[in-house]
Structures are given as structure tokens and as C-alpha cells.
Amino acid sequence: MTFLYSIVLIMSCFFVQSTFSVSYAQSNMSFEHITIDEGLSQNTPNVFFQDSRGLLWIGTQDGLNMYDGIKFHHYKRAVDNTNSISDNLILCITEDKQGNIWIGTEGGLNVFDFAKQRFTRYRNNPIDETSIISNTVRSIICDKKGEIWAGTDEGLVHFLNDSKTFEVFREKNLNECIVRCFLEDKEGILWVGTNAGLAVFDRKEKKFEKRGFKRDAINGMVMDNAGNIWAGGAGGLFKRTFQIKNYIDVVQNRYLTINNVFLDSRGLLWLMTNDGLQYLKPWYSSPRLRVIRSRNTDPSSLSSNDILTMFEDQAGIFWIGTNGYGINKFDRNRIKFDTYNASRTGLSDNTVRSVLEDQHGILWIGTIQGLNKYKEGIEQASVIGTVARKGIYAIYEDNQNQVWVGTVEDGIYVFDNSRPSLGATLKKHFTTKTTTGLLSNFIRVIYQDKAGTVWIGTDKGGISRYDEKTNSFKNFAHEPNVPNSLSNNRVRGIFEDSEGTLWMSTYGGGLNKFDTKNEVFSAYKSNVKDRYSISTNRVYPVYEDDRKHFWVLTYGGGLNSLDRKSGKFTHFTEEDGLPNNVLYGVLEDSKKNLWFSTNRGISKFTPSDTTFTNFGVEDGLQANEFNSGAYAKGKSGMMYFGGINGLNYFHPDSIKGNSYIAPILFTNFQVNNKNVQIGDSSILQNHISVTQKINLNHKQNSFAFFFASLHYSLPKRNKYKYKLEGFDADWIESNRGEAQYTNLDAGEYTLLVKGSNSDGVWNEEPISVNISITAALYNTIEAKIAFVIIALLILFLIYRWRIWRVERNKKHLEEKIVLRTQELTKEKEKVEKQNMLIESANKKIMDSIRYAQRIQDAIIPSEEEMADAFTEHFILFQPRDVVSGDFYWTWKKNGVSQFAVVDCTGHGVPGAIMSVVGFAMLEQTTKVKQIDEPAKILTEMNVGIVDWLKQNEGNVLHETGKMWKSRDGMDMSMISLDKENRKIVFSGAKNSLFYTENGQIKEIKGDRFSIGGTLLKQKQKTFTDKYLSLQKNDMVYLTTDGFLDQFGGVDSKKFSKKRFIELLGKIQHLPLEEQQKKLQESFIHWQGLQRQIDDMLVVGIRM
């Protein structure tokens, strides 16, 4: 038997060593800190426990906490509630086989009925020998038989469930009998750790047997996978071996206090001490002790070195309690990325701008404060003094064992890298001050093509190509007047694809393809009208993957895939799953996945199904923000991405999702936005998680369920699906652990809920609860039948009453119809006579208007007169009514043509009357008074209109019988044209003249007052002349405001002068007939379904 056991022990040790040969480096343990700020009741956790439901219980020095990943639920002693916990200082927790939670405190032993959410207290009663011997309960277990044993300050107690009493066991030979800890071994023996050492309790004989060294105290003990017992206390750590039954001192240190010990699921033994968290591998004969301590320079290290307790939950997450500094949580499955930074590895600065793993496996790391070289296994990085305190934005190793280093302000340094060394031997230094021809000292990109040529991309100086033979650079920069030059000088990437094509990325100029034969560039630029163009002109690196797919990273435009045959781009953005649309670097792993550094963490892209998996700070990243140019891949497949707080490194094969299937639990229930309390007369008799059916009345048909997926790694990433059968057709996905429903109809429903862990692994077995909503009395079937019968009876009575009333009214109506018919006959005769009078009057009015139209047509210049005055012209004249207030006039004298476009007050008949007055005034002023200067003509007409309308005489009698002030007048533009010399004199009353000059439309504004129309100082108006010389084929346009003021378009706005000038600019070169047609079409299109608001007149003249 001993031989067989030895073989089993050796094999198990081999398995443990091969399977769990794991250790934790100080640098790669990143802790999440949980304190009262996050909801913990107090900052000194004494004990952790996870129950069979998956809930986490935390006992502190001020209250019991139940944690569901979303909220800490506190249980504290209430003076007036005997169903509350007996004391707030919690020392130990366990669970019995019925699911009750047992809690040991400084004020007694408690049993928590989870279903009823109430405590039963067991406290010492001095006059009752069957009560618990002491109120200070330091340890508690539920043994293999399901019986409860507790260790107190007065000995060991055994709870008798049937009688609810206690058996007390004390050892007289022990100096003290403070039981601090105990465990049950594989043979059912109880090992008891006391203030005086290690003892064994014989349950058959019901007595203690002292075994072990005389120790001051044993604070904690565990049994390892081989059956050895490890005990720690105030002097160190010792082991009792299972096979040879002897004791071995493992750690002896009188200054070290071991507060507790813990064995994790991988077999590592952890020591909680007053000098940090320590661990060893117990399967080794001489295990090496490793220490993890708090570091002031690392905020993610332990929050304190005084460690009290430790626990591993069902998902493998470590929970570490400190003395006064809260909880430290560490998930070895979550921290997927390791970090090099200034505090851990001695980098010159945390802002990493470039990285390279060279042929020797040495890392070159460029920061904003210099160049660093680092090799795994060496504690601190080596800072290269040659480029100390310089910003390093590019590092590249060429095929001649040289490393090129690009700086911000000091050009390029070339180092010899033929031998593995943490030093660096400088070979060359290029700057703008040397004779090599480098364009800029700010180096962004260094790249060597397949032919061995080194290319340099600068921040604002374009691209430089190095010629090794001449030791000089040939430069390629953006030249605005050269269409095939580089599109922009801010270079962010250089790449040669499998076909030998060179691609240059620019910040602001898009993506450039370089023709190496002709040395010219062609650019791909963003076009908002072309959805297949590149998404933005701010382009970062490009990459061709192993499948020959071509990827383009951008700043703000997400990821682009370029089909190099068609030139079309496909876009991937945040809407497709990217964490952010700014992408800095790209690396490909052995499984054809692409890894991107972004402004919001790292993203893994699977091209086969175009899905993104995103990682953030919570996964171990140095920060969410990374930097351009800071990415590299090592020979082993290790990936490096640099950001604002260090350099992340990882192997893609190690990034795996957590396969833990988390249990799901209902945590709370609300009706009408109020929590439902548990009670015999309540909706809930038990906790919602153990409730199978809920009965509600019609007033309780708005409710909310709260639930949690009990995976504590990153609870905010846990996801949920729920469906209310009887209401929801499909599952509803949510990031929040709640489902709300309002105003549901009476009926039977079932709520189903599924949950996932933080890596998206779903628990496909839903939890459920049935809900029954009863209808209101008035909403039952019986009530509805009664309502229908009563309604039908009422409708029948109403129908009979209506029939009687209709018959009665019918008789009265027949009598009224006879009388009314007689009256209507007389009224009809009167209306017919009135219609005849109106038709006669209308005919006379229309005859008068048509006669007025003939008069107006007669005074308007004929086509022959216009042709004599202007060789080429067009007239677009469109009155609003039959007659118009707009008109045009011309007269030729001594080879000089006078021409006017006039807009009189009003339109229709009033406007036409004013136009006749205006025509008469023009004729008298020019032909009778022989005035031929435009400004004087307008001034004279103003005097005439004011006198004729008596506008200086104050009020006149209006036809309504009221005194009235005349405001009539006219706006006008007038030119005097010397056709032979193409000279124009212009004067305007509010109206402008438009003309062309070098293809542009120019405007000469008229004076800012009308002819007549106002009552103040009418005769003091003096108009001015403007002089203009034109070239052959130049255009002159005169218009009234009818075109400009017409409402229309999408927003029903005025056409406006701005649009009119733009329209003239587009049509000026066309033949005059085409110009008139375009103006007409534009007016009609703009007007749409709107009515014409004014007379419209536009005249165009070509020189």
C-alpha cells in the first residue's frame, strides 16, 4: 500500500509540476483595487467566500457584504431587529449543504437564511451549557457529513442541528484554547490551529491530541494535493508531510507574521504576511519563496503589504484582503498584455514612439526622451547616450546589420548592429546641415525596399531616398504646380507590396502610389460624392496581408481595404466593431488575424468573418491611447505596441477568451419603481432568485427584474439576453442587468434570462420566473359579457327613441319644405338678375383692362426701335396680371441710345396707370426738355412725380373719405450708351446695373432712393451718374425686383440678388436667345407651385 501510494504521489507531483509550472512576476501582476469608494462597507476584509449560487461574500470589520458583480449588498447589525446579523466584525464564513450561510463574528455565530433574507443568532448564554461557549468565532467549516464545526476563543464547538445546541470541546493540557483555524483531512481528521500550536481532534474519542511544534500561534493552514499540511503563524511556515508524518520548517523568520495561508487551483501555496504577498511551489523539495509587494511607482501594484486573507473564486479570480486598504483583485485570465515602462524596466520615458526587435532578439525602444535597448531577463533597460533626451520616432534595421534611428529634431543616426550588445556604435549621422541633402530633421518613417534602397519619410519635408554609393539623398516633395508630385509632405508610412509597388501614406494628402520607372506619384484621395473612395486623406500605415489583401489605416476614417485592380475602397468603422476610427499600427499573426493599435485600445480583426475583438486598459494595456510608428513583431511572433504610458508586448496565441460559464441569478424585483420586500404578506415570500412564480394584480402590471451574471473579472462587459414569453417575440440583448415592462395586459408570462461572461461566453441555460397578472374586476370575461348586454339594451332604447323622433320631425319638415320652396323660387329670380348685372360689369372692366393693355403695348418700344438702339439684346418681360407696372423705354439721339427699365409702384391696373405716367414723364423730360444725362433725367422725373401726385402738399382726400398720403413712385435704372465707343453712363433709383468684366459679374448700385414715393424733402433728391467702359462682347443687364423677390425653392425663400448674380455668371457666354431661355426656365423652376408676386422684367445687352 505504501509503495503504491508512493508511485501515485510521484506521478501526481510530476503532473502538478508539468501542468502548474507557473509563477507570477512582480511586473506582470496588475491588481484592481476595490474600496469603500466602489461600495465596500469597510476597507479591511477579513474573509472571502463564494457560495453555491456563485455569489461572493466578503466579511469586513464593519459589516457583511454580498457582491453580485454589479452591487455590494450590505448586512449590518440593527439594534431593533433580531433578524439582523449579531455583530459587524466578521471573522469567518461558510455554507452548509442546505445553502444557508454561516458567519462567525466577534459577537456570535449567525446563520443566514438566503431565501428569507434573515439571520438566526447564536450567542453565549452563561447559564446555558448548550449555548455556544464564546461569542468570538474565528473559524468555521461544514464537514463531509454536513455538520458545522466552529473555532472560538474558548475552544472547539460542534453544532447539533436537531436540537439547535452546541457541544463544546476544550483541551486542558493546552495553555490556551483559542482556535484560529482548522481543516478536515482526507481521512476525516480535524486538524486544529490554536494559539499554542497544532492539535488533532479525535471525533470518536471527542478529545484533542497535540501534535506539532510549540508555536506562538497558528493563523492559517491548508492541505496540498499530496496530503501535506502547511501551517503559518507568527514565526514562519512549517509543513507536516503526509507520508513520513514529520514536521519541516520551511520559513523561519521571527520578524515575519504569516496572517493566513492559501492553496490555489494550480497548486501554488500563498502566504499572506505583514511584508507582502508571498508564494511558493509546494511540490518542490526545497521550494523557492517569491514575494509580491506594493510599489509607490506602480498604481496597479498591491495597495498594501499588510495582507490578511486571500481567496480564489470559481472563475480563477484572486481576491486579496489588506489591512485598511481594501480588496486587491487579480484575474490571471484577464491580464493578457504585459508592459515595459519607466517604473518597471527603466525606460527613458513612458511615451513610446517607436520599437524594433533586432536580429539578436534585443528590443530597441524609442521614447520622447531617448533611445533604449532592452533584453528579456535583464531588469533595467539601457539608455543610449548618443541620442539621450531626443524624441525617437522611427527605428529600422536594414539588411547590412545597421539600425537606423529617426529623431524629432536631429535627423538620422545609423548604428552598427553586427554584434549583440546593449550598447550602440554610431556609424553615420545625417541632418539638414550635412551635405547629404536630407530635407527635414523630423523623421517619421524609415523603410528599406526589396532592392535594398532605404526610404525616409519626414514630418513636413516629404520623402528622401538614400543613395549608398554617393552617401546622399534624393528628395521627393509636394509641388503645387506639379500634378504628379507627392500629394502632401507630411509622410506617415512607406510600404512595398508583393508586386514591388511602393506606397506612401500622407497626413492630409491621401495615399500615394509611386511609379519607380518614371518617378511620379498618383494619389488616392477622399471624395464625399464617391462612397468607394478612401474614407479620409489622413492616412497612416498600409499593409498587405498573407492573402494579398491590402489594408489602409487612417486617422479618423477607420480601416480601409483597397481593391488595387478597381481602385475601390471598402470601409470599416466604429459601427462595424472598431473601438475607434483612429488606427496607428498593424501586425499580422500566424492565424491570419490582424492586430491594430488605436486611440481606444488594441483590436484583433478576423478578416474571414470581418469581426473585431477589442481590448482595453482592463486587459492589461498601458493605456487606451497608442502612438503611430510604435509597433513591431519579433521572430517568435511576439507583438509590440507602444503608447502614451509604455510598451505593451504579447504573443497572439496567448490571448484567449475565458471559457468560464458564469451562473446567472435574479438579484432584485421592483413593482411600480419600488423594491419589493420579502415577507409573509408581500408579493415575495422568498428571495427573487428562489421564487418560481409571482402573482400580481392589475395595478401591479409595471415591474422590473434585476439579474447578474456572476463572473467578476470585468462585470461591465458581461452581457445579457432576456425574453418575456407571452409578450416578446425575440430575445432582447442588453449590457445592463435589468428588464423592465410597463402596462402589461392581464395574463400568464414567463421571463427567461441568459448571461455571458466578460469574454462573451454564454450560459445557454436560462433562469426563469413565471408571472401571473390578474385582470381587474371590470376586465373579466363575465363583466365584459354583462357590459355588452347592457350596452345592447341601451342602444336598442336609443334606437326606438330616435325612430319616434325622426317620424315626428319628418312631418314638420314636409310642412317647412313647401314654404321654403316658394321662398327659394323668389330668391332665385333675384340672384339671376344680380348675376346678369355682375357679368355685364365684369365685361366692361375687362374691356377697359384690355384697352389699357393695348395702350401699354403701344408705348413700349418696338423690336425695330430696340434693334436700332442695340444690335444684340434680349428682353424677358412677364407681367403678373394683364397689365403691368414694369416697362422699358428707349430713345436715340445723336448716335447715343438712352434706355430705361422702370418698376412703378403696384401692379395690375394701378401699376399700369403709374407706368403711363412714367412714360409721359420720360418723353417730356428727354424729347421736350432735351435733357439727355441719366442722372438729370431721374432728378427731373422725381420733381415731376412729386408735383403730379401732390406729395409735397400733405394729405389728400382718398375715395374712402379719409385723408390719405400718396406714396406712389417708381424704381428705375437708366443708361446712356455710346455704342461706337462702348461707353455707358448709368444712373439708378434703387435699381442696379450688372455687367461682365473678365468673365466675372460686377454690380453698379443705383442711388438709395426712389423717384417720388416718400413725403419728406421730395424735391431735394439728386441722382448721380456712374461711368463705365466695356469691351467687345461684354454683357450689360438691367432688371426690376420681380425676379429677385420671387418666393420659391425648397425653403420658400426669395430668389435673391446673390443667386441672380450666380445665374448671370453661368449664362453670360451663351447666345442671347439661350440666355433669355435659361432665365425663364430658372424663374419657373424656382417659382414651382408658388404664385408670381410681382411683375418681372430683365433686359440683357451685348456690346
Q: Please report the pLDDT score of residue 829 as a whole number.
A: 74
Report the alpha-carbon distance of residue 456 to residue 950 in Å, rounded. Answer: 86
User: At 130, is the secondary structure helix, strand, or coil?
Assistant: coil
Q: Is 152 helix (H, G, I), strand (E, B) or coil?
A: strand
Say what the pLDDT of residue 15 is.
35
* Phi, psi values for residue 1021, rounded to 5°: -70, 130
> 1075 pLDDT exceeds 60?
yes
Alpha-carbon span 278 to 269, nearest angstrom: 8
Range scoring the smallest mean pLDDT among 190-199, 593-602, 647-656, 830-839: 830-839
Residues 898 and 861: their CA atoms lie apart, in Å, by: 12
- Cβ atoms within 10 Å, residue 184: 18
Class of domain 864-954+964-1102: alpha beta
**β 101-105/108-113 pair status:** antiparallel
Instruction: Give the integer Cα–Cα distance in Å for 212 and 221.
Output: 13
- Which CATH number is 664-774 given? 2.60.40.10
Q: Phi and psi for 4 in degrees, rounded to 5? A: -60, -40
Q: What integer is the mean pLDDT of 247-251?
A: 81
Terminal Cα-to-Cα distance of the chain (whole angstroms) = 124
Paired residues of 650 in beta bridges: 639
| Residue 777 buriedness (CB in 10 A; 0-12 / 13-18 / 19+) | exposed
Pairing of strands 491-496, 559-563: unpaired
Report the chain's C-alpha Rg in angstroms: 48
* pLDDT computed for residue 821 by the predictor: 77
Res 5: pLDDT: 37
- E strand or H helix that includes residue 803: helix 781-859
Alpha-carbon gap, residue 642 to 367, rounded angstroms: 9
Query: Residue 148 in 3-state DSSP?
Result: strand
Q: How many CB atoms within 10 Å of residue 654?
A: 11
pLDDT tens for residues 694-744?
999 999 999 999 999 999 999 999 999 999 999 999 999 999 999 999 999
C-alpha span between 8 and 3 (Å, rounded): 9
Three-state SS for 909?
A: helix
- Enumerate the β-bridge partners of residue 754: 721
Say what the pLDDT of residue 811 is. 79
Distance CA 728, CA 1079 (A): 60
Residues 530-570 pLDDT 10s: 999 999 999 999 999 999 999 999 999 999 999 999 999 99
Give the predicted TM-score (pTM) of the model: 0.66
pLDDT more than 70, % of the chain: 92
What single string gives the DSSP state of each residue in 963-988?
Answer: EE----EEEEEEEEEETTTTEEEEEE
Read off the pLDDT of residues 267-321 as tens digits, 9 standing for 90 and up.
999 999 999 999 999 888 788 889 999 988 888 899 999 999 999 999 999 999 9
Buried b (16+ CB within 10 A) or exposed e, 921-945: bbeebbeeeebbbbbbbbbbbbbbb
Q: Are 364 and 403 in contact (CB under 8 A)?
A: yes
Strand partners, 212: none
Please give the share of the chain, as a percent, with pLDDT higher than 90: 67
pLDDT band at 1080 (very low <50, low <70, confident <90, very high): very high
Mean pLDDT to the nearest integer, 958-972: 68
pLDDT of residue 777: 78
Nearest in space to 51 (alpha carbons), one of 314, 326, 309: 314
Residue matched to cell numbers 502538478: 16
- Over residues 445-496, the pLDDT tens digits come to 999 999 999 999 999 999 999 999 999 999 999 999 999 999 999 999 999 9
Q: What is the pLDDT of residues 876-908, one digit of tens each?
A: 999 988 888 889 999 988 889 999 999 998 777
Residue, of 217 and 129, whose pLDDT is higher: 129
Q: Among the listed ranges 330-334, 536-540, 633-637, 850-854, which one has the minimum average pLDDT value? A: 850-854
Would the pLDDT of 1018 be above 80? no
Residue 255 pLDDT > 50: yes
The torsion region of residue 906 among left (phi > 0), alpha (psi -120 to 50) and beta comes to: left
Topology agreement, domain 664-774 and domain 864-954+964-1102? no
Helix (H) and strand (E) counts for the chain?
8, 80
pLDDT of residue 409: 92
Q: What is the pLDDT of residue 66?
A: 98
Are 370 and 390 in contact, with CB atoms under 8 Å apart? yes
- Among candidate residues 522, 534, 494, 488, the one with its CA nearest the CA of residue 508: 488
Q: What is the grid cell recorded at 97? A: 449543504
Place of cell 445687352: 1101
For residues 333 and 316, give the distance between their C-alpha atoms in angstroms, rounded to a whole number. 8
Domain map (residue ranges) of the chain: 664-774, 776-807, 864-954+964-1102
The stretch 19-41 carries a mean pLDDT of 74
Type of residue found at 944:
G
What is the pLDDT at residue 812? 82
Position 956 pLDDT exceeds 70: no
> Distance (Å, rounded) from C-alpha 654 to C-alpha 769?
40
- The reported pLDDT for the residue numbered 1017 is 52
Amino acid at 499: E
Integer angstrom CA distances of residue 498 from 125, 466, 540, 844, 1096: 86, 22, 19, 91, 67
Q: What share of the chain is helix, strand, coil (3-state, %, to 5)?
A: 20, 40, 40
> Residue 662: CB partners within 8 Å, gap ≥ 6?
54, 315, 709, 710, 711, 718, 755, 756, 757, 763
Instruction: Say how many residues make up the chain.
Output: 1103
- pLDDT at res. 444: 98
Q: How far is the C-alpha of 667 from the C-alpha of 609, rounded, in Å? A: 37
Q: Within 10 A of 357 (CB to CB), how many other CB atoms are there?
A: 21
Closest residue by Cα to residue 877 from 891, 892, 889: 889
CA distance 28 to 1067: 73
Q: pLDDT-based confidence at 254, cuts 50/70/90?
A: confident
- Locate 744 and state its grid cell: 402589461
| Residue of 741, 735, 734, 728 whose CA lies nearest to 673 | 741
Give the separation between CA 326 and CA 303, rounded to whole angstroms: 8
Interval 504-540: pLDDT, tens: 999 999 999 999 999 999 999 999 999 999 999 999 9
Using an 8 Å Cβ cutoff, are 986 and 1028 in contact? yes
Residue 642, pLDDT score = 98
Q: Which pLDDT tens digit goes with each residue over 62-99? A: 999 999 999 999 999 999 999 999 999 999 999 999 99
Residue 269 parent element (H or E): strand 269-273
Q: Are strands 402-407 and 491-496 parallel, antiparallel or unpaired?
A: unpaired
Q: What is d(CA 635, CA 194) in angstroms, rounded to the nearest whole number?
A: 56
Q: Is the distance from CB of 1035 to CB of 1100 less than 8 angstroms?
A: yes
907, with CB counted inside 10 A (0-12, 13-18, 19+), is buried
The confidence score (pLDDT) of residue 959 equals 47
> With helix as H, strand as E and coil as C, how does 831-886 read?
HHHHHHHHHHHHHHHHHHHHHHHHHHHHHCCCHHHHHHHCCEEEEEEECCCCCCCE
How many angstroms separate the CA atoms of 81 and 718, rounded? 36
Residue 9's pLDDT band (boundaries 50, 70, 90)? very low
Distance, CA of 661 to CA of 709 (rounded, Å): 9
Exposure b/e, 39-69, CB count within 10 A at least 16 = b: ebbbbbbbbbbbbeebbbbbbbbbbbbbbbb
The mean pLDDT value for 924-937 works out to 92
User: In the predicted model, what is the mean pLDDT of the chain?
Assistant: 89
Q: How far apart are CA 62 and CA 60, in angstroms?
A: 5
**Type and span of the H or E element at 64:** strand 63-67
Mean pLDDT of the region 907-935:
87
